[in-house]
Amino acid sequence: MRRLTRRILLLVSLACVVLGLFLLGANLGFIPGTVTSLAVDLWPLVLVAGGGILLADSLAKRRLTRSSVPVTRRHELPMGPDVHELACRLQFSYGRLKVNPAEGTPYLACEHVGPAPEPLIEQSMRGGVASLSVSLQQPLFPSAFQLSNTWHLALPSQPTIALELHLHEAVLQLDLRGLSVERLDLRADSGAQEIFLGSRRRHLAARIVSSSADLVIVVPAAARIDATLLNPFCRIEFPQGDFERRGDGSLVSTRADPDAPRIELELDGALRSIVLDVDEHSGG
């Protein structure tokens, strides 16, 4: 569902709630008759206000799209050499998110058009365990800068990573190849999502809850894949035919080496179809 449609539905829903409460109060005698008569005369102002909000938002988007230039801000995320575990949590909405290994110091690069709030970044370290939390407060009505809102998160490749992502109406490109990810927890709704699984660890447990209509998961050819689909109405496509379906409905790779890294993949959500592909150039 498009963002404009969501906003119209929200306005209509709020108007129905207010109208229902007003009529209920009038019928029960809580609202004087003079107020009811005045409201009947002035009700078209609701349409004027709703149309004004949508028109102002549309004009702001057009103005920023034509006249503004993208602004990029880079936030360094330094981590000491003694860090061997990293818990990373990211919350992102309305835009494009890219996650991959860092070449040097980890960082977060934010590109947007027009004014935008600073991301909320929280870092802590205790012993060799580091914690990283990144989020962005979103308004009720997404502002015009989110027409071109892109985040690029580059994570360190050495420490063991537990990655948690919460996405709302975002396009995702997630590349775990080259990262030591041990656990992935992804929760997302609409938006195209491309996920490259594969870790420097011997075992990767991934849970993906998504409502995307365009979800592509690419796995290493040599890894042992055990995919479980919790939504019985979803269809999984594996164009290269490298998986076989077991009696419980799960999928398992057919040509992986018994000593190869293992990936446990759990899929859930309001999914219609998933493409599960194999990366012939990755060894897992």
Whether residue 82 sits in one domain with residue 46: no
Q: Are residues 44 and 84 in the same domain?
A: no
- Give the pLDDT confidence score for residue 19 in this predicted structure: 81
| Domain co-membership, 139 together with 18 | no
| Residue 76 and residue 130 share a domain | yes
Q: What is the pLDDT of residue 213?
A: 82
What is the Cα–Cα distance from 162 to 17, expressed in whole angstroms? 43
pLDDT of residue 145: 44
Please tell me whether residues 20 and 159 are part of one structural domain.
no
Residues 235 and 103 in one domain: yes
Residue 284 lies in a domain: no
Number of domains in the chain: 2
Q: What is the pTM of this model?
A: 0.74
Same domain, residue pair 63 and 102: no
pLDDT at 15: 78
Q: Is residue 198 part of a domain?
A: yes
pLDDT at 43 (0 to 100):
76
100 and 59, same domain (yes or no): no
The tens place of each residue's pLDDT in the chain, 284 residues long, gives 455 556 667 777 887 888 888 788 878 878 887 877 887 777 788 778 777 777 776 776 666 556 567 788 999 999 888 899 999 999 998 889 999 999 889 999 998 776 677 899 999 988 889 999 999 766 555 544 445 688 999 999 889 999 999 998 889 999 998 899 999 999 998 888 999 988 667 789 999 999 888 899 988 877 788 888 888 777 777 765 667 777 665 677 776 667 777 888 899 988 777 888 887 665 55
- Per the structure, the complete domain to which residue 123 belongs is given by 71-279
End residue of a domain, out of 67, 88, 111 = 67
Structural domain includes residue 129? yes
The verdict on 85 and 188 lying in the same domain is yes
Considering the domain boundaries, does residue 33 fall inside one?
A: yes
Residues 57, 129, single domain; the answer is no
d(CA 71, CA 149): 10
pLDDT, position 228: 85
Q: Does residue 261 lie within any of the structural domains?
A: yes
